[in-house]
Structure 1
Amino acid sequence: MDAPRTAPRTPEEALRFFQALNPSGIKLGLERVRDALAALEHPERDYPALHVAGTNGKGSTCAFVARALEAAGHRVGLYTSPHLVRVNERIRVCGEDIPDAVFGQRILEVLERYPSALSDPMTYFEFGTVVALWHFSRERVDVAVLETGLGGRLDATTAANPVVTCVTPVSFDHMEYLGHTLREIAGEKAGIFKPGVPAVLSQQEPEALDALLRRAEQLAVPVQVEGRDFGIVPGSDGTLSYRGSGWSLDGLTLALRGPYQRQNAAVALACLEALLARGVAVTPEAAREGLATARWPGRLEEVAQGPTVVVDGAHNPAGVAVLLEALRSLYAGRPLHLVFGVVADKDRGPMMRALFPLAASVHLTPLDTPRSLAPERYIAEARILCSRVVAYSSLEEALAGARADAVGRPDGVVLATGSLFLVGAVKRWVDRSLGAMR
């Protein structure tokens, strides 16, 4: 146990206390979070929640659902991770990030009621989760949408009290914590299931689906499965049609780009139907508006022009696969200049083999995290896959190199991907350099 920390006395000191927790620290388990929530008299029980796990698509699915619930007139809490630019992005009410002053005050309130966090600190994610659940209670939200951080069974968000759960596509990621087979990883994701609480499942690989369905059967969880019980299909006019357990919706449009968003939208609509059945009022009209107006930064997001600069948070092989499908749809025939950075514990080989041969140039950058893999460590691998590869010591240099190459080729596109750390850093750089880049 660490030595007791000095209790912060002001919101500013409270924010510094939180930021001093290790953002990269991982301690799987629910005991600390459950103890804290008990000391806070269980704020997570003050509102119904949707709890979303999965490897890819969680954030977009949460964004679709939250926006639709807001369109239905609800006061909605949204908790997601990681953040791209500021930690405040993780905790939102009705689409607004938690303000610094309120964030700091909530931390003070949690520490006052649970001073054990000073002598036996929780992880950054654990403490942030407790603050989010407390904040949603203080803000009297009507419903909350919660995204898991890692896995499900032992993730801090699993201490919440959902009325509907959801698992988006399961693939290989965080294998050192979740297992080395799809069955093992899906079993960890299925840890969010609660006895009798309905679950919505996206289409899955057979091995993953079998693990999810087995766990659902053990807990008597009613299940809706994409492709069997609901789905979205494209229409000839470019709009989409949804068929679910009760809703039949035609003429749907999506605010989020990329063909893979169709699946996220279908899962979101099925979640909304399940929430409706559990007493959360939402109409097909509100669902339609939610799909058409949702925002989710960092996914196929164009952040600058002249040349076009796109950021995407793909950071595992499955994420890269759907990114490539979107690139073929949106930027066909345009030379791709890749800015790529990766953390050391990711399975970079399949990502590189999928992306690098398609790129006119590759610009390797370090990331602003202790987990960053130095470009020199894998530049030799990269040069086997692309004829023009350059390693840089900073993101600014990598972006400058990629943009210079893109300007020299007609319709060149700069794509920054490989890590959400990279996406956040590019967005911060664009904000600082907005005048020069546009």
Structure 2
Amino acid sequence: MAPPRTPQEALAFLAGLNPSGIKLGLERVHATLEALGHPERRYRVLHVAGTNGKGSTCAFAASALRAAGHKVGLYTSPHLERVNERFQVDGADISDEVLGCRILEVLERCPDAASASGMLTYFEFGTVVALWHFAQEAVDVAVLETGLGGRLDATNATQPLVTAITPISFDHMEYLGHTLGAIAGEKAGILKPGVPVVVSRQEPEALDAISRVAGQVGAPLLLEGRDFHVEPDPEGGFVYRGPERTLRGLSLSLRGPHQTQNAAVALAVLGQLDQRGMAVPPEAAISGLATARWPGRMEQLGERPAVLLDGAHNPGGVAVLLASLDALYPGRRIHAVFGVVADKDRAPMMRALFPRCASVHLTPLDTPRSLAPERYLAEARALCADARAYATLDEALAGARATAGAEDVLLCTGSLFLVGAARARLSRNLGALQQQP
């Protein structure tokens, strides 16, 4: 492949890397960052790992840091609609032109990153570009979400000021292990000597693994429920109680009861950053939680029926989704548009979700990893009698719309691939799914 010469060619180069390619290890990323002069050392880093909730936690923290007057880089994955979403500075996605230029700048300094012998994976290359971009933009702090793991994740080539671990669930077992302890041990690989780690409530097996790693490396551990928590405030909203401060009158922009846990972790992280010289006054923390945005997670786009997008794609995520449905849409019939990638453990997700649904509409995903709906239609019908398979997402959305009543909920879930594609379509054509009052 000839090296790209224009920003447009650079974007095509990035898109041409295999998005599903995984090569665990940090050697390639370390070598590339060294060739770039270690851009990741020019700003402070907050590093967040976990299975569920890490994106929301990053969104809360980044929003509060911006409210405190800091210039903030935010690197997350995967994206919903455009790769530009992964690279944000002060809440704005990177433009195509700037992203193309950043890719060219990295390749000019590190031609091996595009060579057959040293080529980075899609995620590795994206991570390097993000770290380079944040340095060029002179951010004060970068909030980094890990990819699938922690210990061998490309984002772990940084030296954070504070780390955090959100709830651990079963996901990516082929890479991380088949027990909660093994998965948690991989996630805990982001812990560093002397760097505090803020940890959400965990299953005992996961907490044991995280605590063991924290003790081995000498990372001070702050645990939700023991050292900090968020609870309802009798005077309205929520109150946060942590080792560094108490905050009252909190309101959360992100929906669902689980967001109080993500907010608690974010506030504890912000408190640790504040104590380490990155000022986050109480009013900034309160404002940040009230204004954070994180699309595709319990996101409602319309009424009659309510059209809901949620990126739950593992058993833990589905459990959180169901609790949110009970809290926000009690008693309403659910019509699920569902798609899944072939390498996911779909059975526990389906067993939890489908019996709660009035109808299920299976759709393929726009990825080579998609599991064809007809492959698991019989499984779906055993859990929900009104389950159907479709050839396209558009047909599945139309089928769900034809089945749902005005007071029902049309839910798109099962994969972020599905949520991103559905969000793009629904943003353009939401009126076609709505009933007139």
TM-score by length of 2: 0.97
Which sections of structure 1, spanning at least 5 residues, go unmatched? none
2:6 counterpart (2, 10, 35): 10
> Is 1:43 paired with 2:34?
no
Q: How far has the Cα of 1:234 moved from its partner?
A: 1.3
Q: Is the 8 A contact 2:364 2:370 kept in 1?
A: yes
Match of 1:173 in 2: 171
C-alpha distance in 2 between matches for 1:105 and 1:436: 39
Question: Is the Cα contact below 8 Å between 1:304 and 1:430 reproduced in 2?
Answer: no
Mapped pair 1:381 → 2:374: no
Distance in 2 between the 1:238 and 1:354 partners?
33
Check whether the contact 2:306–2:409 (CA below 8 A) recurs between aligned residues.
Answer: yes
Quote the sequence identity (%).
Answer: 69
Residue 335 of structure 2, aligned match among 323, 334, 337: 337
> Offset at 1:308?
1.6
Tell me what 2:363 maps to. Answer: 365
* Cα displacement string for residues 339-375 of structure 1 (whole angstroms, at most 9, x for unaligned residues): 0101111111111111111111100001111111111
Counterpart secondary structure, 1:249: strand
The offset of 1:314, in angstroms, is: 0.3
Partner of 1:432: 428
Q: How far off its partner does 1:432 sit? A: 3.2
Q: Distance in 2 between matches of 1:34 and 1:252?
A: 40
Contact 1:233–1:240 at 8 Å: present in 2 too? yes
| Partner Cα separation in structure 2 for residue 337 and residue 436 of structure 1 | 16
The separation in 1 between residues aligned to 2:304 and 2:22, in whole angstroms, is 40
Q: Secondary structure at the match of 1:251?
A: strand
Matched residue, 1:105: 101
Mapped partners of 1:171, 1:435: distance in 2: 37
1:418 aligns with 2:414: yes
Contact in 1 for aligned 2:305/2:406 (Cα 8 Å): no
- For residues 178-257 of structure 1, what are the structure 2 equivalents within 5 Å? 178-236=176-234, 238-257=236-255
One-letter code aligned to 1:338: A
Shift of 1:437: 4.3
Q: 1-side partners of 2:181 and 2:189: how far apart?
A: 13
C-alpha deviations, 1:133-152, integer Å up to 9, x for none? Answer: 00000000010100000110
Q: Distance in 1 between the 2:277 and 2:215 partners?
A: 24
What SS class does the counterpart of residue 325 from structure 1 fall into? helix
Q: Secondary structure of 2:135's match?
A: helix
Which whole-Å CA distance do the structure 1 matches of 2:38 and 2:19 have between them? 25
8 Å contact kept, 1:6–1:118: no
Aligned pair partner of 2:140 in 139, 142, 150: 142
Q: Which shifted more, 329-338 or 304-313?
A: 304-313
Q: Tell me if structure 1 keeps the 8 A contact 2:304–2:407.
A: no
Alpha-carbon deviation of 1:410?
4.5
1:86 has 2:98 as partner = no
Report the equivalent of 2:91: 95
Report SS of the residue matched to 1:141.
coil
Letter in 2 for 1:292: A
State the distance in 2 between where 1:388 and 1:59 align: 33
Out of 157, 160, 166, the residue aligned to residue 159 of structure 1 is 157
Partner residue in 2 for 1:24? 20
Which residue number in structure 1 is paired with residue 286 of structure 2? 288
1:118 aligns with 2:110: no
Q: How many residues were matched structurally?
A: 432
Q: 2:268 aligns with which of 270, 278, 291?
A: 270
3-state DSSP of counterpart to 2:186: helix
1:67 aligns with 2:63: yes
Task: For 1:147, give the aligned amino acid.
Answer: E
- Give the Cα–Cα distance (whole angstroms) in 2 for the partners of residues 312 and 430 of structure 1: 14
Shifted more, 297-306 versus 427-436: the winner is 427-436
**Retained in 2: the 8 A contact 1:341–1:417?**
yes
Say if 1:77 and 1:145, in contact at 8 Å, map to a contact too. Answer: yes
- Residues 377-416 of structure 1 aligned to structure 2 (within 5 Å): 377-406=375-404, 409-416=405-412
Unpaired runs of 5+ residues, structure 2, are none
Amino acid at match of 2:22: I
Give me the CA root mean square deviation: 1.0
